[in-house]
Amino acid sequence: MMGAKLLLLLVASSLCLSAAIATQQTCPADLDSKCGDAASGDWEGEFFPGIPKIKYEGPSSKNPLAYKWYNAEEVILGKKMKDWMRFSVAFWHTFRGTGGDPFGAPTKSWPWEDGTNSLDMAKRRMRAHFEFMEKLGVDRWCFHDRDIAPDGKTLTETNKNLDEIVELAKKLQEETNIKPLWGTAQLFMHPRYMHGAATSPEVKVYAYGAAQVKKALEVTHYLGGENYVFWGGREGYQTLLNTDMKRELDHLASFLQAAVDYKKKIGFNGTLLIEPKPQEPTKHQYDWDVATTFSFLQKYGLTGEFKINVECNHATLSGHSCHHELETARINGLLGNIDANTGDPQIGWDTDQFLTDISEATLVMSSVVKNGGLAPGGFNFDAKLRRESTDVEDMFLAHISGMDTLARGLRNVVKLIEDGSLDELVRKRYQSFDSEIGALIEAGKGDFETLEKKVLEWGEPIVPSGKQELAEILFQAAL
């Protein structure tokens, strides 16, 4: 009897889920759609017809197009949830991702795309982008310069194209109260950057990269961006046999210092961020991880000018957990922003998947809470749909899932804080340093002669258990 009731319950739940999905009429990812006039420069009507503004419905909701855990206005630990998160949509993955990979052709062709990289297409894409953010309830976005506007034949023509798109973005921002979390220059795709930009052995390429960053800084400032990111995907080497590493690192430092100087000259008060990554596309990237980047900033006197944008997938590529990289940045006063994504443990490259692991999200949010938040940084979804996900609806489902996962992580952190058992376990583990001699050591006054006398007085130390298993139980209890 109980089995029959359970079966009926499962069938009913399945029907509710199917009905919820069926009621959302969305555009298929092909140019034959009747959602708009893809052949003209203008788009008729909505880009996402049938998809309402995404709302919070709570954990019991069966609606896939609703938030179960992210409630933007809810106050948690003294801040609204939206202020803890400061979510941002990445323009490049969301609106320029094609689904192509090294082994296969693109799988996505959104209804509004006409197959060109024209200015008209760039404008239509930008309008779709803002409608998407409005319906999602996200008020920040991130961009690369070359993703929002096409290259021209000359730098002058390219900058003119960018200016035209930026004016449209500015207008849309004023209409929606959406603004950039950060901007950046794409210094890795064009063939001129095959050896890098700031670390290129060709001075003309170095200068071109500087001119591109100059313009990107101006644009980010004009749009009201709160941060500017440097990701040096090609700032590294393929082999040391043809590389003068010291010279390249010196050049990179000079490039970053010039960016600092120009930022101040134009009155841009946003935070400059460096995004570490160990390799891919280069064999070795100079900002390998947070610790390497911190060392670089210290050596060249740049620690007061930059913070770190930690990308979780980059963390695992460098052999660390995302939590490790966040804590390394946090305890050194460098945590500025998080690219919220993850990789696949069975795949050895940067897959940029949406973060959906509750345990990892809880660890991530524990660092954010300890940091007092991320502002003026935030969470940027540097994540893309899987190649096989080709419905327009999937764009929303992916972001909803990522946002709900981090929101659930924040709620779990509250449970851990309120329970206090894990914090108490950590406190007890180091309580011997709360003694007089421990305080002396932590004040930098624990000289070897004094410590030797104490050892002779105490005898052999009794070392207590680390209680790792208990720590894991306490942590898992909050999930």
Which regions of the chain are under pLDDT 50? 1-40
What long-range pairs does 331-336 form, CB within 8 A, spacing at least 24? 332/290, 332/294, 334/290, 334/294, 334/303, 334/306, 334/307, 334/308, 335/307, 335/308, 335/310, 335/367, 335/371, 335/374, 335/377, 336/227, 336/271, 336/273, 336/307, 336/308, 336/309, 336/374, 336/377
Same domain, 76 and 208: yes
Contact 399, 91 (CB under 8 A): no
Same domain, 300 and 427: no
Same domain, 307 and 206: yes
Give catalytic status of residue 144 as yes or no. Answer: yes
Same domain, 353 and 320: yes
- What is the predicted pLDDT for the residue at 229? 98
Range of the domain at 438: 421-477
Q: Could you tell me the two tokens for 133? A: 């953010």
Phi first, then psi, for residue 258 (nearest 5°) are -65, -35
- What is the predicted pLDDT for the residue at 41? 53
Same domain, 426 and 414: no
Residues 342-355 have pLDDT tens digits of 999 888 888 999 99
- What is the predicted pLDDT for the residue at 43? 72
Residue from 202, 286, 301, 198 nearest 245 by CA: 286
Global pTM reads 0.90
Cα gap 247→245, rounded to integer Å: 5
Place of tokens 């008020």: 139
- What is the predicted pLDDT for the residue at 27? 45
Domain count, the chain: 2
Residue from 309, 302, 342, 381 nearest 143 by CA: 381
User: Which of the residues 93, 144, 251, 320 is marked catalytic?
Assistant: 144
Domain assignment present for 10: no
Q: Could you tell me the two tokens for 394? A: 């999937």
Domain boundary among 373, 390, 419: 419
Q: Could you tell me the two tokens for 4? A: 């029959």
